[in-house]
Structure 1
Amino acid sequence: MPDRLEIMREDLLKAGLSPAHVQRYLRELAEHRDDIVAYLIAEGVAPQVAQTEADRRLGSNDALLLPMLANRRFRSLAARWPALVYLAIPVCCQFVLLALGLCLLLLATGTPLRASILDLGNGLKLLSYAAPVLIGMLMLAFAHQRRATNAWPIAGALSSAVLAAMVSISVLPSLPGQAGEISVAIGFPSLLPLLITGTLVLLPAAIRR
C-alpha cells in the first residue's frame, strides 16, 4: 500500500503546485509524523500501532491538502502561465541560441577556423534543427515532473520545429577575388525539414505514452 504522503504528493502536483513547495511541505509532515511515532513508541506503544495512530493524529488527507491548495502562491509558474513557460520561453531560447551561434560563426571568420567556415555553418544548421528536439524532450520531462498534461509541451515543441523550418542559414566561403557571406533568412517553413523535425519532437511524447 503506497504511503499516504506519496498519494498527497501526486494530488498536489496534479493541482499545479510547485514541486519545491510540495517537497518542503511533505518533508515537514513526515518529520512531524516521525516525532509522533517516536513519542508513542517511547510510551510503550507497538511500532505498527504507533504508525497508525500517528497517521490518525495528522488528520485526513483533505484537511492536510487544503492549506496548500487554497494558497495561490504555492502554484508553479508553469501552472499559472503555461503559454509563457512552454511556448514563449523555449522559442526565445531558440532565438538566443541561433543568435549566439551566428556571433560565434562571425568571430570564427577572423581566426584560423575561417578555413572550416563551411563546416561550422553546416554544424550551426544541424544545431538549429536539433534544438527543437532537445527543447521538446526538456519540456516533456519538465511537465512530467509536475504531473502536467503533454498538451502545452507538445505545442511548444511544434512551435520550435516550425521556427527551425522557417530559418534558413547560408554560408559561402571566401574565394580569390570574392568575399565570403553569412546570411540568415526567415520565411515560409520548408516542408521536408518541418516534417522531419516535427516527427522527432513528437517521438518522445509517443514513447512516453
Structure 2
Amino acid sequence: MRDVFAPLRDRLLRAGVRPKTVNRYLSELRDHVDDLTAELEEEGISENAARERALSRLGSIETLAEPMISDRRFHSWTGKTPWAVFLIAPIVSYGAIVALLTCALIFATSPIAPAWFGTVGWGTTQFAAYVAPLILAWMLAFMALRQRSRAMWPLVGMSLTIVAAAVIEIQVKFIGPQQGGEIAVALTTPSVAQIAALLLVAAAPLLLLGRHDQTASQV
C-alpha cells in the first residue's frame, strides 16, 4: 500500500528534523486521518472517498512540514551542526580508539610481553589501520542516509577519517616472549595503497550518498 506521507517524511528529514520526531509526527497524522475517515464514513461516505477527503483537510506537504521545520528544537545534530557530526566527531572518535588500543597493548605487556603478544600486536595495528576507520565511515554513511543528508558533509568526513587512519599509526616492536618491546603512536606519511583500499571498501555507502544527493538536488 502506498504511503501517502512518504513525501512529507523526505521533506522533513532533508530539512534536518530528527528521524524519531518525524516518525512520531507521522504516526499522529495517520491516527488523525483514521479518525476523520471514520467520522466521514459514519456520514455515509465510502471509505476511499472519506480517506481522500480526510487527507485533503490536513493541507499540503509544505503546510504540514512548516511547523516542524521552523522549530529548531525538532532538528537533529546532523541538521543543526553537520560539521561537528560528520567532521569533528569521527576524527575525535578515531583518536579515542587509537588511544584505547594503545593503552590495552601497554597493559598486556606490563611488566613483560606474553608469548601471544606478537600476533595480538599485529592484529591491533591492522584493526586501527583498516577496520576502525571503515566502521566509522559506515556509521557516517548510515546517519547520512537515515537523515537524508546532503552528501557533502559525510563524504568529506569519511575521507578525512580514512586519511587520519593512514597518517596515525600504532607501532609495535616485539622482540620475543618474556622480553621487552616498544609500543608507540606516530604520525607517518600516508600510504596511498591503504587509502585506496579503504575508499574501495567504502565505495558502496559513498555511491548511495551520491545518489541521495542527486535526488535531493532534484527535489
Same fold (TM over 0.5): yes
Q: Who is 2:160 aligned against?
A: 159
2:142 match: 141
Would the alpha carbon gap of residues 50 and 131 (structure 1) be closer, same or farther in structure 2, given more than 3 Å must change? same
For residues 67 and 177 of structure 2, the distance between their equivalents in structure 1, rounded to whole angstroms, comes to: 73
8 A contact 2:114–2:178 mirrored in 1:
no
Equivalent position of 2:74 in the other structure: 74
Q: Which runs of 5+ in 1 are unaligned?
A: none
Question: Which runs of at least 4 in structure 1 moved beyond 6 Å after TM superposition?
Answer: none
- Asked if structure 2 preserves the Cα contact closer than 8 Å seen for 1:5 and 1:26, the reply is yes
How far residue 90 of structure 1 moved from its aligned partner, in angstroms, is 0.8
- What is the TM-score of this pair, normalised by structure 1? 0.89
Q: How far is the alpha carbon of 1:2 from its aligned partner?
A: 4.0
CA gap of 1:176–1:45, structure 2 versus 1, over 3 A, is: closer
Look up the equivalent residue of 1:196 and give its one-letter code.
A
Counterparts in 2 of 1:117-196, with a 5 A limit? 117-128=117-128, 129-175=130-176, 179-196=180-197
Per the normalisation by structure 2, the TM-score is: 0.85
Aligned pair count reads: 209
Q: Distance in 2 between matches of 1:186 and 1:161?
A: 14
Q: Identity rate of aligned residues, in percent?
A: 34
Q: Work out the CA distance in 1 between the residues paired with 2:125 and 2:29.
A: 51
Mean Cα displacement is larger for which, 110-119 or 54-63? 110-119
Q: Does the residue aligned with 1:24 lie in a helix, a strand or coil?
A: helix
Asked whether the equivalents of residues 16 and 75 of structure 2 are also in contact (C-alpha less than 8 Å), the reply is yes
Give the drift of 1:187: 3.3
Give RMSD over aligned pairs. 2.4
Distance 2:190 2:168 in 1: 8
Alignment deviations for residues 79-102 of structure 1 (CA, whole Å, 9 cap, x no partner): 111111011111111111111111
User: Do the aligned residues in 2 keep the contact of 1:140 with 1:150 (CA within 8 Å)?
Assistant: no
Do the aligned partners of residues 77 and 176 (structure 1) sit closer, same or farther apart at CA in structure 2, a change above 3 Å counting? closer
- Note the alpha carbon deviations across 1:152-187, whole angstroms, 9 max, x for none: 112111111111111222222244896222122123
Distance (whole Å) between structure 2 residues aligned to residue 40 and residue 149 of structure 1: 41
* CA 1:114–1:178: 2 relative to 1, 3 Å: closer
